[in-house]
A and B are shown apart, each in its own frame.
Chain A
Amino acid sequence: MIRYALNRVALLIVGLLVASALIFLTLRVLPGDIAQLIAGTNSTPEQVAAISDRLGLDRPLPVQYIEWIGGLLRGDLGASLLTGTPVIDELVQKAQVTVPLGLMAMAVALVIALPFGVLAAVRRGRADGTALSVGAQTLAAVPVVWAGMMLVVVFAVWLGWLPAQGFPRGGWDDPARAFQSLLLPALTIGIVEGAMLMRFVRSATLQAVGQDYVRTAAAKGLTRNRALVRHGLPAVGLSIITVLGLQVAGIIVGAVVIEELFTLPGIGRMLVADVGNRDLIKVQSELLVLTGMVLIIGFLVDLFHRVVDPRQREAE
């Protein structure tokens, strides 16, 4: 087990290194020079050169890369080329919007997916089960933007219950107001993700119904549904954790769209703006942090599985 964990840690580190090099290089390939963007049109070449020199953009790429990685190892994510603000400060600030948004969205998704997914499996072949499946198919196909617009029109513009856009300027100083601001965006992501997750829960449950141990339990006198709940669902739960781990990346991508639509000052909008501004140091550090998060979550899910699921150890 320890050997396995060490192996996985080594893989994680290699993964992060490869990711850092890829991120660094990809951003350098982007056309568009930050000094030129700062200087803008109607600028003289001297103006552009002066800015480039001040920002250290004319140094060789390997030097810039090593400097960046060196900073990272010392726990320094660097500073924005445009404003000089430490990247970590802004990441922490934006995470206060995006992390709660992601968690709320995931909660909404689970609340939808678990009961209805199991129900759809148990009631397979009957009218209500089919209706649930078709409903999930349809919802999962709904574009997030459209779903968001509909929710805004109904709950913000018509009913006036919830804010249509924005996040309180004081952040979480007023938790109720902050929570309200995230509710519609979280529902938007949560409903669509939940519908996708529900299809997964349904098929995982169906698979569990067919498993030997569920059938054995049923043969020992439990009703089929009770056997499923007691013996089948824990296995379903395990695979759902894996899927949820994978969904973290999906939720980050969803956040980019949703934060734009609801003008939430989160990580997604920050990334889009920073790429547009060619604030390279900032973008590369932000991307690496996000990549790191996804890799670490994958790592934790693997370890967790190993500990909880005996079949994996036996398989080795």
Chain B
Amino acid sequence: MIRRSPLSRRASLAAAAVLAAGALLLTACAGNAEPGPTSTEVTADPSASVAIRLVLEPGNLDVRETAGAALDQILIDNIYQGLVSRTAEQEIVPALATDYEVSPDGLTYTFTLREGVTFHDGQELTPQDVVWSLTQVKQNPAYRDSARLANVQAIAAEGQTITLTLSAPDSTLLWSLTGRAGLILKEGDTIDRKTDANGTGPFVFSDWKQGDSITFERNEDYWGEKAQVAEVVFSYIPNTQAAINGALAGELDVLTGFDANLTDQLEANGDFAVVVGPSTDKGTLAMNSTRPPLDDVRVRQAIRQAIDKDAIVEALGAGRTQFGPIPSLDPGYEDLSDVAPFDPDAAKALLAEAGEEDLDLTLTIPASYGTTVTQILVSNLNDVGISLNVTTVEFGAWLNDVYINQDYELSFVLHTEARDFENWANPDYYFTYDNPEVQRLYAESVASTDEAEAEALLAEAARIVSEDMAADWLYNGASVVGVGTHITGMPSTNVNERLNLAELVEGSQ
């Protein structure tokens, strides 16, 4: 999935950048997702209603067919659950299953289904619901992530035991089951899934005011520990300034998708603290290597070496540099900064060698990303003799021109999805990157039954992708969240992707 949200505005205060960097360091030291800006204990208010600003509103609520991180972000974990889930640290943990086991040959997955779980409409969760849900996803190619269950041959239930039998080992299966492919829905549910939701999670869908807000209420019959707040209101506010105004006027409790450069503004009166956590957002500069002059690896390398990644991270006020396709939160990550370090002189030399000293290139970028990154790109590339024409398009047009028709030279979008290396092993993807060696390594990694081996294979493949200069990675974004000092338990890792609110607490100190 690709995040369409605004990138944030231009850096203006060095102080803000320093502050944000400090915050990043702090969270890095703390090393967990429980930052809570307050150190003092709060008394939980069980009747609290917490207003959270989100940027991107879903088009509809159908998790089966509709794409977009906006849906995963609020619905998974809070409303819908799978047999397994993932923690903020990206670990796989049991959810609707009390435990699970994988056979040594990697071909049989056995889950014990939790008892006493009910759907929000009051009906009990049965093993048959699980078999039905997974079978539906597997059999219906129109459903999201259907292909992720491709290796699953049989899904069966006996008592509370659910067994998945695979035709070949799949090291990505458990992870896939923590996402859309593994969500457990009620068999034959008749609700209109576009505007309603019926799951097993700690929150119940209550109301959607289109173009405005979505409201969840606490699930009083939840099988696990009940949510600590009575109500969560997601306010969809694309405009960052409006969100800050709302926060300062006391109308919002949490701001996600926050611009780290505006930290001072939000923290000014002491009611908010900005929390910076890691994310799997990858600011990806795709290079169409099927097109001259970008089919010349020297030109692609020159572009990479011309771009000052540190300057980009500094201008954004948060995040870190990334030099390969895998971000630090994902398996297979390796520091690849040695592959194409910032070196304008080397870039010029490479261009001269390739006979491309006066180059005109076009960058296609969705309008929602703002201008911070493009300004740096234009100036950096200009320094080595490349004039960059920036074509700003709407996301729909980007999908059409770049994603479907692959009609572009350079493209920038933020890829938010965790563990999405598969796109580099897919020659049809809009990256236009086609390397059989990478495809083989990825397939081997998927087929591996040993976690460490699977990771090593991914790392090896990722290095090749980077060395092939398949694209450039401008930065690894951060989750920047403004949290009211009266709020604790707000997740801070990868919140664009998932926002588990089970531990959210509003209270007085």
Taking CB atoms and an 8 Å cut-off, the chain B residues in 58-110 that contact chain A are 59-60, 65-68
Question: Chain A 28-66, CB within 8 Å of chain B: the 1/0 string?
Answer: 001111001111111110110011000000000000000
Taking CB atoms and an 8 Å cut-off, the chain A residues in 214-271 that contact chain B are 260-263, 265, 269-270
B144 shortest CB reach to chain A, Å: 8
Q: Top 7 A-B pairs ranked by shortest CB distance?
A: A40-B67, A32-B396, A265-B212, A50-B142, A164-B245, A164-B249, A31-B397
- Assess the B242–A164 pair: CB atoms within 8 A: yes
CB-CB under 8 A from A152, the residues of chain B are 245
Once bound together, how far apart are the Cα atoms of A249 and B475, in whole Å?
A: 43
- Assess the A83–B210 pair: CB atoms within 8 A: yes
Question: Residue A302 at the B interface, CB < 8 A?
Answer: no
Which of B68, B246, B250, B393 has the most chain A CB within a 10 Å cutoff? B246
Contact of A42 among B67, B207, B238, B248 (CB under 8 A): B67
Once bound together, how far apart are the Cα atoms of A160 and B251, in whole Å?
A: 11
CB-CB under 8 A from B397, the residues of chain A are 30-32
A2 shortest CB reach to chain B, Å: 43
Question: Chain B 203-228, CB within 8 Å of chain A: the 1/0 string?
Answer: 00001011111010000000000000
Question: Residue B116 at the A interface, CB < 8 A?
Answer: no
- Assess the B213–A169 pair: CB atoms within 8 A: yes
CB-CB under 8 A from A42, the residues of chain B are 1, 67, 417, 420, 423
Also in contact, A166 and B211, with CB within 8 A (given A31-B396, A32-B397, A42-B67): no
CB-CB under 8 A from B394, the residues of chain A are 32, 276
CB-CB under 8 A from A260, the residues of chain B are 238-239, 242
- Assess the A263–B400 pair: CB atoms within 8 A: no
CB-CB under 8 A from A51, the residues of chain B are 65, 142
Also in contact, A36 and B404, with CB within 8 A (given A82-B60, A157-B249): yes
CB-CB under 8 A from A82, the residues of chain B are 59-60, 66, 194
- Assess the B194–A265 pair: CB atoms within 8 A: no
Question: Residue B504 at the A interface, CB < 8 A?
Answer: no
Question: Residue A199 at the B interface, CB < 8 A?
Answer: no
CB-CB under 8 A from B143, the residues of chain A are 47
- Assess the A165–B66 pair: CB atoms within 8 A: no
Question: Residue B41 at the A interface, CB < 8 A?
Answer: no
Once bound together, how far apart are the Cα atoms of A83 and B196, in whole Å?
A: 10
Contact of A44 among B66, B147, B251 (CB under 8 A): B147
Question: Residue B322 at the A interface, CB < 8 A?
Answer: no
CB-CB under 8 A from B243, the residues of chain A are 165
Once bound together, how far apart are the Cα atoms of A157 and B213, in whole Å?
A: 22
Question: Residue A75 at the B interface, CB < 8 A?
Answer: no
CB-CB under 8 A from B67, the residues of chain A are 38-43
Once bound together, how far apart are the Cα atoms of A41 and B68, in whole Å?
A: 8
- Assess the B246–A263 pair: CB atoms within 8 A: yes
Interface residues on A, range: 35 or more
Question: Residue A298 at the B interface, CB < 8 A?
Answer: no
Binding site for A on B (CB under 8 A): 1-2, 57, 59-60, 65-68, 141-144, 146-147, 192, 194-195, 207, 209-213, 215, 233, 235-239, 241-243, 245-246, 248-251, 393-397, 399-401, 403-404, 417, 420, 423
B281 shortest CB reach to chain A, Å: 14
CB-CB under 8 A from B238, the residues of chain A are 260
B367, closest chain A residue (CB): A276
A271 shortest CB reach to chain B, Å: 10
A53, closest chain B residue (CB): B142
- Assess the B245–A157 pair: CB atoms within 8 A: yes
CB-CB under 8 A from A169, the residues of chain B are 207, 209, 212-213, 215, 233
Question: Residue A156 at the B interface, CB < 8 A?
Answer: yes
A83 shortest CB reach to chain B, Å: 5
Known A153-B245, A278-B396; further 9 A-B contacts with Cβ < 8 A? A32-B400, A40-B66, A41-B403, A44-B141, A47-B142, A85-B195, A166-B235, A265-B211, A277-B59
Question: Residue A273 at the B interface, CB < 8 A?
Answer: yes
Once bound together, how far apart are the Cα atoms of A40 and B145, in whole Å?
A: 12
CB-CB under 8 A from B236, the residues of chain A are 263
Also in contact, A165 and B237, with CB within 8 A (given A33-B400, A51-B142, A276-B394): yes
CB-CB under 8 A from A292, the residues of chain B are none
- Assess the A273–B423 pair: CB atoms within 8 A: no
- Assess the A33–B237 pair: CB atoms within 8 A: no
A81 shortest CB reach to chain B, Å: 9
Also in contact, A46 and B209, with CB within 8 A (given A41-B67, A164-B248, A276-B394): no
Once bound together, how far apart are the Cα atoms of A152 and B143, in whole Å?
A: 45
Once bound together, how far apart are the Cα atoms of A260 and B245, in whole Å?
A: 13
Question: Residue A310 at the B interface, CB < 8 A?
Answer: no
- Assess the A279–B192 pair: CB atoms within 8 A: no
CB-CB under 8 A from A33, the residues of chain B are 396, 399-400, 404
CB-CB under 8 A from A153, the residues of chain B are 245
B249, closest chain A residue (CB): A164
A41, closest chain B residue (CB): B2
CB-CB under 8 A from A30, the residues of chain B are 396-397
Once bound together, how far apart are the Cα atoms of A164 and B237, in whole Å?
A: 12
B397, closest chain A residue (CB): A31
A278 shortest CB reach to chain B, Å: 5
Once bound together, how far apart are the Cα atoms of A215 and B235, in whole Å?
A: 60
- Assess the B212–A167 pair: CB atoms within 8 A: yes
| Chain A to chain B contacts (Cβ below 8 Å), 28 pairs | A32-B396, A33-B400, A33-B404, A38-B59, A38-B67, A39-B66, A40-B2, A42-B423, A47-B142, A47-B143, A50-B141, A51-B65, A82-B66, A82-B194, A83-B195, A84-B195, A156-B249, A160-B249, A164-B246, A164-B249, A165-B251, A169-B213, A263-B212, A263-B236, A263-B237, A263-B239, A265-B212, A276-B396
Question: Residue A94 at the B interface, CB < 8 A?
Answer: yes
- Assess the A269–B211 pair: CB atoms within 8 A: yes
- Assess the B248–A263 pair: CB atoms within 8 A: no
- Assess the B59–A37 pair: CB atoms within 8 A: yes
- Assess the A157–B210 pair: CB atoms within 8 A: no
- Assess the A165–B245 pair: CB atoms within 8 A: yes
Which of B143, B210, B211, B401 has the most chain A CB within a 10 Å cutoff? B211
CB-CB under 8 A from A303, the residues of chain B are none
Once bound together, how far apart are the Cα atoms of A166 and B251, in whole Å?
A: 9
Once bound together, how far apart are the Cα atoms of A314 and B60, in whole Å?
A: 58
B310 shortest CB reach to chain A, Å: 28
- Assess the A37–B396 pair: CB atoms within 8 A: yes
Once bound together, how far apart are the Cα atoms of A265 and B212, in whole Å?
A: 5
